Chains A and B, each alone.
Chain A
Amino acid sequence: MIYLDNASTTKMFEECLEVCKEFSCNRFFNPSALSSGALEVSRLLAKAENYILSRLGAKEGNILFTGCATESNNLAIRGSLRTGDWEYVFSVGEHPSVFNLAKKLQLEGFKVHFIPLLKNGQVDYEKLQEVLNERTRLVSVMHVSNETGAVNDLQKISTLKKAKCPKAILHVDGVQGFMKIPFSLRDTQVDLYSFSGHKFHGPKGVGGLYVKNKAGLKNLFEGGGQQYGLRSGTENVSAIMQMCKAIQLIDEKSNYQKTLHIKDFFNQQLVSSGCARFGDVDALSDDKMIVINDFHGSPYIENLVFQGVKGETILHALDEKGIIVGLGSACSSKKAGNRVLQEIGFEKENIISSVRISFNAYLSDDELKIAAKVIAEVFENIKERVL
């Protein structure tokens, strides 16, 4: 199997298993209990928190451990709501766990603004600048698009925020950014940053939320008051430690360089097969090629349009040959259409023909060669059958 759907989830590092066993069967204590073993576990949790803060490049703040990024996003946004004449600003490119929540808030009577996307997949900074004002309570823009890989400029957004609404809270959904794109929160105005363990070779069922100023956040549910009272419930120590292990094993700077090479190499292989070419969303002719839409954002994600063929058909046919690709957010691929691609100006037929390729830093050249070859063959074969 060659797995090219890493934006959906990644294979867990085997090293995490030992950590799992250690914190499930040996040091399994409830960190809030009073025994010496429990105290030790709570110290380790605090250490994990500080370690993740340092990897985020945060000067101050805390990490709240959650069950997943969807929970982190909901906590970040709902926890920042205030009564009064406030405005809430979201990009239209957000993951459903943010976008659908924003829609819901709108129905609940909150004043919500949606900022469109540029052709390159980034948020439209000019529109953002127009919308921000002193009544803006929250701005939520994702770090890296899970659909296109476009990377939003957190510094630029920080500058806008500082100038137009310095008191607003800036939330960034960092699920496809953390441990993938080298960056430091130190240089930004980010107040809240969400991430998810299974996107960087950690376990599923654990995520986190960086919180710069915990006094500004409200808890979503009442309970035993764990994690500063902001996320009650016994901490999933084992999963948190496994996620921490994965973070320790990753050098995001060198992985970034490796993945740049991987994407480049893969695309060259595809192009040299003769059935693919580079293109951009604007200028897709109907030449029945695989069009590589490189948004030059994250090297981990790209979009391929298989002209004239349905992306889903390609996905199934590749699956049969052991190549796993994605159709964009698993949370949205079950529904017709793809909101994000539509927002950046994809025609309907190109959306239907889209496949998302997402890499990890550990793919070998041989694997990429095989994958590109099989993709080209499968495309030619399906084309012959349906056209």
Chain B
Amino acid sequence: MKRKVLLLKFGELFLKGRNRHDFINLLKSNILNKLKDLSCKLQETQGRLVLTDYDQSQESVIIEKLQTVFGLIGVADAVEIDTSLEEIKSELLNIDLFGVTSFKIESKRADKTFPLTSMELDKLLGGVVLDKEPNLKVDLYNPQLKIFVEVRTNGKTYIYKNLHACAGGLPLSSGGKGLLLLSGGIDSPVAGYLMAKRGLEIEAIHFHSYPYTSLQAKEKVINLAKEISTYCGKIRLHIVSFTEIQEQIHKNCDAEYMITIMRRIMMRIAQKIAIKNNLGAIITGESLGQVASQTMQSINVTNSVVDLPVFRPVIAFDKEQIMDLARKIGTYETSILPYEDCCTVFLPKNPVIKPTIKRAELLEKNLDIESLVNEAVANEEIMEINQY
């Protein structure tokens, strides 16, 4: 029986040994979750997933959605036929070659009971095409059209022309859960995306300083969370008021240490919320040397108040690289909206570039850190965001 299907390729999961099955099951459930509003069936054959019984008119929508599922590396709109040389030959002749001048057949024989090897199949099928279109040329290195023929172990063969690249990475939730510090800038959504790509489920925390910052600034962060949620799945967004803490630091600590101490308190609040919600790591969008608070010394001083691992996936990225990724995942336009986040209100003219833990600890003696942190956590607002 012949039918149109989507052939889904996954990447690194092969490497996962005995856990492979768990990974594939997770991937399958993520795919079905992604396609929850569309009716379809998902089957597994060795090394591939096959999506069938979907509404053909929705095919491009489905492909677009699948391109945001971590763990998949490619999706092809393929024709599925029963494996037999005759069927394969006759299906090959149905392929539209209008305007094509050179081509190449790329066969893959996963089913070792099939009598021809991949190379033999390439040659044979190339000949079949040339018989029909003698003006075409075979070009093994730079063909205008590649025709893929995959003979799988489920007794089916898949023929396709287009392989759409997907996001790659590991299936969401395969790596535990982390808490992303989401500021409203360009870097943090990218950091969240990158960690989710390695399988982390994401919750996010945002600090706002109303009335020093606007409601629009908060709205912007909610929109950013929605945008990365397309990739990262459901996100619980913890919104924490930082107003009083900023005022206290402003009143009681040296101006040049303002940001250092702010960030140390943010990390403490983040860790407290992470532990409360069983999140195993903190994620930040820090990039080494980008601003005064992201020098190695500054990062050391802010890092020293937490025990959880802190993932900084863009630490070695240039701003340009981060911006490119932000554009790719669709957060850039939102990130550059000109609403101040809480860091810029009490910004000192000369923040310290090389703070020390000792000095920070000394200045913090002027604050009742524990109760400030507890109060902030107690008053958090939680939003559930899901655009997956």
Binding site for B on A (CB under 8 A): 310, 312-317, 319-320, 334-336, 382, 385-386
Q: Mark B346-363, 1 if CB is under 8 A from A, else 0.
A: 100000000000000000
Residues of A within 8 A of B345 (CB): 310, 313
Q: Mark B324-361, 1 if CB is under 8 A from A, else 0.
A: 00000000000001111000011000000000000000
Roughly how many angstroms separate A319 CA and B212 CA in the complex, as a whole number? 12
Residues of B within 8 A of A314 (CB): 211
Residues of B within 8 A of A317 (CB): 211
Roughly how many angstroms separate A3 CA and B352 CA in the complex, as a whole number? 43
Residues of B within 8 A of A316 (CB): 210-215
Residues of A within 8 A of B131 (CB): none
Measured CB to CB, the closest approach of chain B to A9, in angstroms, equals 17
Q: What does DSSP make chain B's interface, helix, strand, loop or mixed? A: loop
Residues of A within 8 A of B65 (CB): none
Roughly how many angstroms separate A176 CA and B212 CA in the complex, as a whole number? 30
Q: Tell yes or no: B28 within 8 A of A by CB.
A: no
Measured CB to CB, the closest approach of chain A to B381, in angstroms, equals 15
Binding site for A on B (CB under 8 A): 210-215, 247, 250, 337-340, 345-346
Residue in A310, A315, A386 with the greatest tally of chain B CB atoms within 10 Å: A386
A386-B250, A386-B346 known; A310 and B338 CB under 8 Å?
A: no
Residues of B within 8 A of A312 (CB): 212, 214, 340
The 3 tightest CB contacts between A and B, nearest first, are A316-B211, A317-B211, A385-B247
**A–B complex contacts, Cβ < 8 Å, 10 sampled:** A312-B214, A314-B211, A316-B211, A316-B215, A334-B337, A334-B339, A335-B338, A382-B211, A385-B247, A386-B247
Measured CB to CB, the closest approach of chain B to A344, in angstroms, equals 23
Known: A312-B340, A314-B211, A316-B214. 11 other contacts (CB 8 A): A312-B212, A313-B211, A315-B211, A316-B211, A316-B212, A316-B215, A319-B211, A334-B338, A335-B338, A336-B338, A386-B346
CB nearest to A320 among chain B residues: B211
Residues of B within 8 A of A334 (CB): 337-339
Measured CB to CB, the closest approach of chain B to A173, in angstroms, equals 25
Residues of A within 8 A of B340 (CB): 312
Residue in A315, A320, A334, A385 with the greatest tally of chain B CB atoms within 10 Å: A385
CB nearest to B247 among chain A residues: A385
Measured CB to CB, the closest approach of chain B to A333, in angstroms, equals 10
Measured CB to CB, the closest approach of chain B to A124, in angstroms, equals 31
CB nearest to B213 among chain A residues: A316
Residues of B within 8 A of A319 (CB): 211
Roughly how many angstroms separate A66 CA and B345 CA in the complex, as a whole number? 41
Measured CB to CB, the closest approach of chain B to A325, in angstroms, equals 12
Roughly how many angstroms separate A382 CA and B210 CA in the complex, as a whole number? 12
- Of B212, B247, B339, the residue contacting A310 (CB under 8 A) is B212
CB nearest to B337 among chain A residues: A334
Measured CB to CB, the closest approach of chain A to B341, in angstroms, equals 13
Measured CB to CB, the closest approach of chain A to B247, in angstroms, equals 5
| B338 close to A313 (CB less than 8 A) | no
Roughly how many angstroms separate A24 CA and B73 CA in the complex, as a whole number? 53
CB nearest to A334 among chain B residues: B338
Measured CB to CB, the closest approach of chain A to B242, in angstroms, equals 13
Roughly how many angstroms separate A310 CA and B345 CA in the complex, as a whole number? 9
CB nearest to B244 among chain A residues: A385
Residues of B within 8 A of A382 (CB): 211
Roughly how many angstroms separate A335 CA and B213 CA in the complex, as a whole number? 14
Roughly how many angstroms separate A320 CA and B211 CA in the complex, as a whole number? 9
Roughly how many angstroms separate A385 CA and B247 CA in the complex, as a whole number? 6
Roughly how many angstroms separate A50 CA and B247 CA in the complex, as a whole number? 59
Measured CB to CB, the closest approach of chain A to B80, in angstroms, equals 51
Roughly how many angstroms separate A310 CA and B210 CA in the complex, as a whole number? 12
Roughly how many angstroms separate A334 CA and B247 CA in the complex, as a whole number? 25
Measured CB to CB, the closest approach of chain A to B349, in angstroms, equals 13
Roughly how many angstroms separate A314 CA and B345 CA in the complex, as a whole number? 13
Roughly how many angstroms separate A386 CA and B249 CA in the complex, as a whole number? 10
Measured CB to CB, the closest approach of chain A to B113, in angstroms, equals 66
CB nearest to B211 among chain A residues: A316
Residues of B within 8 A of A386 (CB): 247, 250, 346
Residues of A within 8 A of B213 (CB): 316
Residues of B within 8 A of A320 (CB): 210-211
CB nearest to A312 among chain B residues: B214
Measured CB to CB, the closest approach of chain A to B208, in angstroms, equals 11
Roughly how many angstroms separate A42 CA and B247 CA in the complex, as a whole number? 62
Measured CB to CB, the closest approach of chain A to B115, in angstroms, equals 68
CB nearest to A317 among chain B residues: B211
Roughly how many angstroms separate A312 CA and B212 CA in the complex, as a whole number? 7
Roughly how many angstroms separate A310 CA and B344 CA in the complex, as a whole number? 12
CB nearest to B340 among chain A residues: A312
Residues of B within 8 A of A313 (CB): 211-212, 345
Roughly how many angstroms separate A320 CA and B210 CA in the complex, as a whole number? 10
